[in-house]
């Protein structure tokens, strides 16, 4: 759990910082700032130490103390759409990611906006800043197109290193996430600038090597008078859950009490830290998740070991983020660098085994014996019981537009940002592009196409909110959809996940989305539904006739 001094420092920062004026002296200097944007993969809302978690994350806790915590930051329910919006500043439906690659419903096949690759017609912020004299780097996950013309080095990045697809084994074997059949090679595709890598170093581990490469690139160009924008796109803690041997036992025994107890304790810890603006009830265990006490001893042992590995991955990720922060300090770059951190979506609670082309592939190809769990050649994933706990006190997880799938704590530190600030202002990944462009003083900062709102006044302490009370944010992926306006949110989930109609929630009183208020507020429901329909027309949303995600049924055990 986060220390009491940390919680006190954050709360004092909120009281004194968010409602006061932060110093902007550094922001007025003529030197253009650097940007380091760090993205975790499938991290749950309450997984970090400063949120009250039992997982040790000292580097991110430090970032929270030294900068601003944005508690109400939103992303897409899945990774590629989030990354597309981060890089373009446009809604995912406008830039090729109305759905994910190979997940298009029949109604969406061949339709504009549903290509499953990043649109070539829309400039990325890397292209915009590169044209304005910035050095641009990407180390880690791309997942926005695998053809050579779609590689990051063709989309504005001077250097890029990492997997092209959604992930792979975290070790040197390069095993892909999916069954190596007709369309998937035996090894996941890794790139180093313009070349495919056929082999990785024997000691390769994803978080370590992505960090090594990014630090090497920054150091290589350290004497340059050009500012930089660097993306650290980690694949942790995305499945398969794997860590180096020296990390495997770090949380041994920590999860023996099970996911029901963890969900309750996590929710209490987040509320105690004061990092959620409401104190409502927490969602109940999903009906297709077994109560912990009904599992056999052997099942509990394997399940607890799985969560131990997940926690170790998060701590290992934090360790390497700490290396990046230390490099900025030691190289004298920290004072003029904005560091932004968030997760691309919520924790992974979906039936991963159903994604592979052959459902027996995992059993046939991998060694998931208890003694090999977490090592190279194993293939494990978090599952809904633990993902619900990682999301607590919010509901749902990855692929769902419930808050647990789309709300992630975001951190930012940089020139003019007062230490210890907390904001509950409604923010979105779409806001990153206009913010970066404004701070870089790029000519394209004023483009009317960008869908987000600049966070500069919020970061400078000049405003306590980003959006007006009547502003809306909307989501759609796999037919699952939502819209947020201030404290109010509507949510649509197909059966069996939801009622197959719109629901209404008051997030100020009920952040876990446990009480449907649709019948109590019919006029508000009608207004919000109309706003979502406006969004769908504007963004050219094509709804599938039924749920189109890879979670095709709730029998996930």
Catalytic residue IDs: 79, 143
Question: What Å distances lie between residue 165 and 156, 374, 444, 484, CA to CA?
Answer: 19, 21, 30, 31
Q: CA–CA separation, 394 vs 536, rounded Å?
A: 26
SS3 of 225, please?
Answer: coil
Q: CA–CA separation, 120 vs 132, rounded Å?
A: 20
Q: CA–CA separation, 235 vs 232, rounded Å?
A: 10
Q: CA–CA separation, 249 vs 171, rounded Å?
A: 18
Q: Which long-range contacts (CB under 8 A, 24 or more apart) does 372-377 make?
A: 373/241, 373/302, 373/305, 373/306, 373/309, 374/241, 374/242, 374/243, 374/248, 374/305, 374/309, 374/312, 375/242, 375/245, 375/248, 376/169, 376/171, 376/172, 376/173, 376/242, 377/173, 377/175
Burial of residue 30 (CB within 10 Å: 0-12, 13-18, 19+) is: exposed
Query: Distance between alpha carbon 32 and the CA centroid of its chain, in Å?
Result: 27
The number of CA neighbours under 13 Å toward the Cβ of 545 is: 3
Alpha helices in 343-472 (DSSP H): 361-365, 384-391, 403-406, 432-439, 456-459
Q: CA–CA separation, 164 vs 152, rounded Å?
A: 9
Torsion over CA: 179, 182, 187, 188 (sign): negative
Q: Which long-range contacts (CB under 8 A, 24 or more apart) does 18-25 make?
A: 18/421, 18/422, 18/423, 18/461, 18/464, 19/464, 20/418, 20/461, 21/461, 21/462, 22/416, 22/417, 22/418, 22/421, 22/459, 22/460, 22/461, 22/462, 23/416, 23/418, 24/416, 24/460, 25/416
């Amino acid at each position: 759990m986060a220390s009491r001094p940390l919680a006190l420092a954050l709360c004092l920062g909120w009281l004194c910082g968010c409602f006061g004026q932060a110093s902007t002296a550094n922001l007025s200097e003529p030197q253009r700032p650097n940007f380091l944007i760090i993205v975790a993969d499938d991290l749950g809302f309450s997984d970090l130490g400063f949120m009250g978690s039992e997982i040790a994350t000292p580097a991110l806790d430090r970032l929270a103390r030294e900068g601003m915590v944005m508690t109400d930051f939103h992303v897409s329910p899945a990774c590629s759409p989030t990354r597309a919006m981060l890089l373009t500043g446009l809604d995912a439906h406008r830039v090729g990611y109305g759905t994910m690659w190979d997940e298009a419903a029949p109604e969406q096949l061949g339709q504009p906006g549903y290509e499953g690759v990043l649109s070539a017609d829309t400039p990325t912020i890397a292209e915009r800043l590169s044209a304005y004299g910035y050095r641009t780097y990407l180390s880690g996950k791309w997942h926005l197109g695998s053809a050579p013309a779609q590689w990051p080095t063709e989309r504005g990045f001077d250097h890029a290193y990492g997997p092209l697809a959604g992930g792979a084994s975290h070790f040197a074997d390069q095993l892909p996430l999916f069954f190596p059949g007709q369309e998937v090679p035996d090894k996941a595709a890794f790139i180093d600038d313009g070349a495919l890598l056929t082999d990785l170093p024997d000691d390769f581990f994803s978080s370590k090597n992505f960090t090594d490469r990014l630090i090497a690139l920054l150091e290589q160009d350290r004497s340059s008078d050009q500012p930089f924008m660097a993306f650290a796109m980690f694949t942790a803690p995305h499945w398969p859950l794997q860590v180096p041997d020296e990390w495997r036992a770090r949380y041994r025994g920590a999860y023996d009490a099970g996911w029901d107890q963890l969900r309750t304790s996590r929710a209490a810890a987040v509320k105690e830290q004061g990092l959620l603006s409401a104190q409502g009830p927490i969602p109940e265990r999903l009906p297709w998740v077994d109560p912990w006490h009904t599992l056999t001893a052997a099942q509990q042992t394997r399940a607890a070991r799985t969560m131990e590995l997940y926690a170790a991955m998060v701590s290992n990720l934090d360790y390497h983020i700490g290396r990046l922060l230390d490099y900025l300090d030691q190289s004298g770059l920290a004072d003029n660098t904005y560091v932004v951190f968030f997760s691309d979506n919520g924790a992974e609670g979906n039936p991963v085994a159903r994604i592979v082309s052959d459902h027996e592939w995992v059993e046939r190809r991998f060694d998931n014996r208890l003694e090999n769990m977490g090592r190279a050649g194993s293939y494990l994933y978090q599952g809904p019981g633990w993902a619900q706990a990682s999301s607590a006190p919010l509901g749902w997880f990855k692929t769902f537009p419930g808050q647990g799938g789309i709300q992630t704590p975001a951190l930012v530190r940089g020139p003019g940002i007062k230490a210890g600030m907390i904001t509950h202002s409604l923010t979105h990944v779409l806001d990153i592009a206009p913010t970066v462009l404004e701070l870089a003083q790029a000519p394209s900062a004023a483009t009317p196409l960008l869908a987000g709102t600049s966070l500069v006044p919020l970061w400078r302490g000049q405003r306590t909110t980003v959006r007006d009370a009547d502003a809306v944010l909307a989501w759609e992926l796999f037919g699952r959809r939502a819209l947020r306006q201030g404290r109010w949110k509507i949510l649509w989930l197909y059966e069996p996940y939801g009622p197959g109609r719109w629901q209404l929630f008051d997030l100020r009183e009920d952040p876990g989305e446990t009480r449907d208020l649709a019948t109590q507020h019919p006029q508000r429901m009608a207004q919000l539904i109309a706003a979502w329909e406006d969004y769908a027309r504007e963004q050219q949303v094509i709804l599938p006739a039924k749920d189109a995600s890879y979670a095709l049924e709730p029998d996930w055990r």
